[in-house]
Structure formats: C-alpha cells, structure tokens
Amino acid sequence: MTEETRFLRESVVDIDAAVVGINSTQWTSIPLTDAMTDHAARIMSTNRFDILPIESPGGVREYFQTLVWNDYSSVVRRTIPHRDVIPFTTPLWNVIQGFALESKEFYLLMLTDFCAR
C-alpha cells in the first residue's frame, strides 16, 4: 500500500464506547441496602474506583463519586443525570469530545433501551 492509497481508503473500523468501556453487567456496585457513604468509600478505596454505582430493584439510578479523583476521603452520593448516561453504541469520537469539550470525567454506558426508560 502506498502513502497515497492510505488516504483513499473507504472502509474504516468504527470503534464505539462498548469497545473501550465496561458493560453494566460487569460493574462492581453496591446494593441499595448497603449504600452508606463510609462503606462505599471503603469499597472505592480498595478497588481504586472514583465511581461506584448503587444497585436498586429498579436498576442503577444513583452512584457514589469521589469529589477529587483518587481521594477517597471525600465521597458523595449522586443521582445519575441523563447527560451522564450514553448508549454503548456511541462512537468513540463523541465520547472523546464529551471528555474534552464538556469536561466530563466519565460516562455510564447502558443498553440503548435504558435511555428510553
């Protein structure tokens, strides 16, 4: 392949958020019944997580987050806003744009139908 033909390629591999993310079925989470800040902070510190989803019977609607990345002395509980949830099929370019332009630190990847609930 010559240099010129590299620029004329029509097929390009599409990489989406699912390729670089973690499936929600593989998350480490905390059950709603155990969702106390001090307990969550211990789990987060042990696993070096800055985000810890809270599992409830209705699904994941809240999470714990460190206020400062890698500082487990300041953990808060938050409700998941719609803007933090993206379909796993989101193109990687859009994810990178969100990190750069919107100063996002994370997204929660969900099945596309979750966003419609």
The answer to whether residues 77 and 64 touch, using CB atoms and an 8 Å cutoff, is: yes
Fold exhibited by the domain 13-116:
CBS-domain (3.10.580)
Name the nearest CA neighbour of 83 among 51, 108, 112. Answer: 108
Q: What is the pLDDT of residue 8?
A: 72
C-beta atoms surrounding 107 within 10 Å: 20
Name the nearest CA neighbour of 51 among 21, 95, 9. Answer: 21
The answer to whether residues 23 and 47 touch, using CB atoms and an 8 Å cutoff, is: no
Residue 73's H or E segment, with its range, is: strand 71-79
Q: What is the pLDDT of residue 96?
A: 94
Residue 56's H or E segment, with its range, is: strand 51-56
Per-residue pLDDT of the chain (117 residues; tens, 9 = 90+): 677 776 776 766 778 999 888 887 888 999 999 999 999 999 999 999 999 999 999 888 999 999 999 999 999 999 999 889 898 999 999 999 999 998 888 998 877 544 443
CA separation for the pair 61, 108 (Å, rounded): 11
Name the token pair of 51: 């985000």
CA separation for the pair 37, 57 (Å, rounded): 19
Kindly write down the DSSP assignment for every residue of 93-105, as one continuous string: HHHHHHHHHS---
Q: What is the pLDDT of residue 63?
A: 96
The reported pTM is 0.78
Q: What is the pLDDT of residue 37?
A: 97
